[in-house]
Amino acid sequence: DDRVVEIAVVHCDPAGRVTGRWTTLVDAGRDPGPTHVHGLTAKELAGAPGFADLVDWLAELTAGRVVVAHNAPFDLAFLAAEHERADVDAPGWASLCTLELTALVGLSGARSLQECCKAAHIGITGAHSALGDAEATAGLLGHCLDLARQQGITELGDLGCRDPLPARSLVPQTTAPRLVPRTTPHAPDSRAVSMARLVSRGRAARANDASANSYLALLDSALVAIRHEHQLDRRDLLRSAQALGIETKDAVNLLDTYI
């Protein structure tokens, strides 16, 4: 039932250098949820494009590229769900997860984007905003690619890339939609950030499986909601695990060990 309320796309070259950036608020047509995390209110989202207005533009920006995100399965699940609501088939993106990549190159044992960037000495401006996190992820990607090259890892498959790279020619040119970026910078609740950092340091359950690690990262975020006295629904967490391909009994064990 959760919705996308902000999108940012940051283009990088093969070395991880930023070559372009775009961002917009997204009117989800409902209450935007945890404002204390993302800093957005229903009033700010009013008048922004809906996700259905952005699908062609988003497909063109990502065509022929690897989609990179921190805890990529989580982000891709959101995008797939929004495409389904818009009655549009989601593109067959090739994807790369910086959460997995940091482990591959031996950068950090942390899970959160903030802690991984800290280990790489990368500053984050506007944490928990779409553009702030996307730019931080781009910086983390470049750092990890440098470390990977030093270790002789250069092939996309060896870096953990999922699925083959689609052909750009399959996506027609489209007129860019009206974008509505944030008008004020986002300063996340310091208590939420502090709790996220605390949790990422304490790896209560270790898992070699990428899906399990993605689920643990999701639990890190869920604990921030507990800190703010929001109800934590165990069933929602188990459904999230199922969406990541984790069997229920394994998800229960991970959740119980984590708690």
Output 229 or 44, whichever has higher pLDDT.
44
Note the pLDDT tens digit of each residue in 36-46. Answer: 777 888 888 99
**pLDDT higher than threshold 60 for residue 202:** no
> What share of the chain in percent tops pLDDT 70?
80
Note the pLDDT tens digit of each residue in 124-174. Answer: 887 778 999 999 999 999 999 999 999 999 999 999 998 877 666 555 556
**pLDDT higher than threshold 90 for residue 225:** no
- Helical H segments across the chain, by residue range: 35-38, 42-45, 55-62, 72-85, 98-104, 113-119, 130-150, 190-201, 210-227, 234-243, 248-258
Please provide residue 55's backbone torsions phi and psi, each rounded to the nearest 5 degrees. Answer: -65, -40
**pLDDT higher than threshold 90 for residue 21:** yes
Lookup: tokens for 197: 């950092």
Least reliable range by pLDDT among 75-84, 128-137, 139-148, 177-186: 177-186
Output 21 or 195, whichever has higher pLDDT.
21
The pLDDT, as a whole number, for residue 83 is 96
The pLDDT, as a whole number, for residue 187 is 58
The pLDDT, as a whole number, for residue 167 is 64
Length of the chain: 259
SS3 8: strand
